[in-house]
Structure 1
Amino acid sequence: MSLLPLDEIPAPAPARSPAAAARLLPRLLSVLPLLLIGAWAAVDWRTLYDGAARLGSADPWWLLAALFFTCLGWLAPACVRQGALPERLPPWLLLASQFAAGAANHVLPASIGAHAVTLRFLRGRGIPLGRAAASLALYSLVRPIAKTAVFLVFLLAFPDLLRLDEVVPDRRTLFLAAGGVTFGLTAPLLLVTAVPPLRRPALTFVRTALTDARRLHTMPSRVLALWGGAAVTPLLQATVIACVGASLGLPMTWAQVTFAFLAASTAVGAVPAPGGIGPVDAALVFTMTAFGTPLGLATATLIGYRVITVWVPLLPGALVLSALVHRKVL
């Protein structure tokens, strides 16, 4: 290099500026959902293949009805999200964000993916972080309460619908469930008590959440969207299962399928699995067999349900998620 003329010495490569890296990050994030789908398809390809083969011999009209109720199932969470905030959100962007959140929800456990997408959406609409987090907490609290209320209504309306002696968990399972609920309620309190720096943010969050909850429950439209959407969501999910079962010849009525789904999802819905896949499926197959459904038919129904509600919307949802990231909506 010292022997070369000064005008022939190559100039050092310009360092990548932070602005260029910031422009590259959204592109990488927009491709990430597609990469996750490819990885998941490679791991779970057998389920996808078996479900598609089963649905190939099913009644297409019932499958079309199942797809219709699946689409309504994206509208109900959007109503609940709107009901958890006093501010009015853009309806179409809200619906698109929930459609995209559904794709993220099937990748990460315990609804972390859906909450992350929704949090980014709310922050992009100018909602402060504390109030956005409070709305997510209210959303997470209302949904299981509403589902349990619907389940109790079914218990009162159809007391002899299910043979409870076959599906009620034993004492050990009840103790484990009670221990899990107790730990979930006391652990945050103990953590805040033991770590003083967390007390002030925790108290601020609780005050914000209570203030918004009181304000929302003075607005009839928000109450209807919040509680009505939360109550309708499990009914729509059960209706999708009933439609898939009808296409395969499942010998169960809509009320029986709905009761079985409510019982299964209420019992093991708190298990942190991606999209509830796994624990809810096993519990639902167990409750369906309690009605006399053959195990193979119950399993085929659940596989078809997952194909329609997970795999069919997954690629469009990932594309919508990528588009929202690219347009900086998220």
Structure 2
Amino acid sequence: MTATESLPIASGRRPYLQLGITLVVFVAAGWMLAAHRAALDSGTDRLAAADGEWLVLACLAAVGTWVCAAVAQQGAVAERLPRGRLVAAQFAAGAANHLLPAGAGAAAVNLRFLTRCGLSTRRSVTALAVKAAVGGIVRCALGVALLVASPGTVRLSARAPHLLVLLTAAAGAVVLVVTISGPLRRTVARAFADVRDVHRRRVRAWALWGGSVAFALLHAGVVVAVVHAIGIGLPANRVVMAYLVASGAAALLPTPGGLGSLDAALALALTAAGAPGPAAVSAVLGYRLLTGWLPLAPGLLVLALLARRSAL
């Protein structure tokens, strides 16, 4: 059989592959929604009795997080990315993140998207690493800034200095390993070259850092709006700090989309900030409902659509 005769067969298999991907996506969406049906019903009932204006603000903040994620991702690469598909990819990545642990779902979607846009695999991985690193730096900086602006927001433990020394030692060990290892040193050097290239463009640097700051603040804003919607009388600075601490703690536990880890950490942080236990659980359910469960099925549908159109 010649090469030209094999083309129709290959092209004939593609619709079946696309149909299979679509079916897998819908089955995954149905399974995720069924697995969290009880929590979904409880959160819906509580939100139905909540303050509508605060819920509208929470919904707007949740929608804004996908736009900010797209802005930050654009800032992490020097090339111009297609805006519409970039935002759609972030929406789809948020849904995929609920299927795989430790952010692997979102990373896989964004990696595939960047390579489809013409970036090499190495540069795509570097762009994702830069975005993640900036996001972590931003959350730490926001927490420190909030502590400086409102010293009474949280009570520092007596072990805090020891923890700081431990973190410094760990960072030093990582730097030492990278310095000694030749392949790692070359990889890091290439990554820093990409980072310098991005930061030479002022617009890209603003997009990277500004988008990351806005992303973290809008997620915290969703929690603040939900807390006010269900009538918990907590100051906004305490709620924001609770979210920053909880999201940082949840990053250490590789659960899909932070399910379980972020929920427990955020509930504990809100309780420590002064919210009653049941009310803190309701706030977490409301936050999850708006940022995770409600966008899940549409996000997976967008994921299947992007895959069908070969954007992923």
| TM-based fold match above 0.5 | yes
Give unmatched runs, 5+ long, in structure 2.
Answer: 1-7
Cα distance between partner residues in 1 of 2:201 and 2:161? 43
8 Å contact kept, 2:220–2:240: yes
Give unmatched runs, 5+ long, in structure 1.
Answer: 1-15, 194-198
Cα gap change, 1:121 to 1:252, in 2 (>3 Å): same
Where do 1:82-101 residues align within 5 Å?
Answer: 82-101=74-93
Q: State the partner residue of 2:148.
A: 156
Choose from 18, 22, 28 the match for 1:26. 18
Q: State the partner residue of 1:206.
A: 188
Q: State the partner residue of 1:139.
A: 131
8 Å contact kept, 2:102–2:251: no
8 Å contact kept, 1:31–1:322: no
Q: State the partner residue of 1:36.
A: 28
Cα distance between partner residues in 1 of 2:173 and 2:223? 30
Q: State the partner residue of 1:273.
A: 255
Q: For the aligned residues, what is the CA RMSD?
A: 2.8
Q: Which whole-Å deviations, capped at 9, do the CAs of 1:266-296 have from their partners, x for residues lacking one?
A: 2342221222222222222222222321100
8 Å contact kept, 1:242–1:254: yes
Cα distance between partner residues in 2 of 1:119 and 1:108? 15
Deviation at 1:308, TM superposition (A): 0.9
Cα gap change, 1:227 to 1:164, in 2 (>3 Å): same
1:317 aligned onto 2:283: no
Cα distance between partner residues in 1 of 2:257 and 2:203? 29
Q: State the partner residue of 2:3.
A: none
Cα gap change, 1:179 to 1:52, in 2 (>3 Å): farther
8 Å contact kept, 1:107–1:113: yes
Cα distance between partner residues in 1 of 2:176 and 2:95? 30
Cα gap change, 1:64 to 1:36, in 2 (>3 Å): same
Partner SS state of residue 85, structure 1? coil
Cα gap change, 1:281 to 1:156, in 2 (>3 Å): same
With normalisation by structure 1, the TM-score equals 0.83
8 Å contact kept, 1:47–1:303: yes
Cα distance between partner residues in 2 of 1:91 and 1:207? 30
8 Å contact kept, 2:198–2:204: yes
Deviation at 1:187, TM superposition (A): 12
8 Å contact kept, 2:251–2:258: yes
Q: Which whole-Å deviations, capped at 9, do the CAs of 1:116-137 have from their partners, x for residues lacking one?
A: 1111111111111111111111
Q: State the partner residue of 2:4.
A: none
Deviation at 1:142, TM superposition (A): 1.2
With normalisation by structure 2, the TM-score equals 0.88
User: Mean alpha-carbon deviation: is it higher for 206-215 or for 300-309?
Assistant: 206-215
Choose from 78, 81, 86 the match for 2:73. 81
Q: Which whole-Å deviations, capped at 9, do the CAs of 1:11-70 have from their partners, x for residues lacking one?
A: xxxxx9444334422221233222111111222221112111211211122111110000
8 Å contact kept, 2:61–2:218: yes
Q: Which whole-Å deviations, capped at 9, do the CAs of 1:184-240 have from their partners, x for residues lacking one?
A: 9489869x96xxxxx75x566434312110111111111111111112212111110
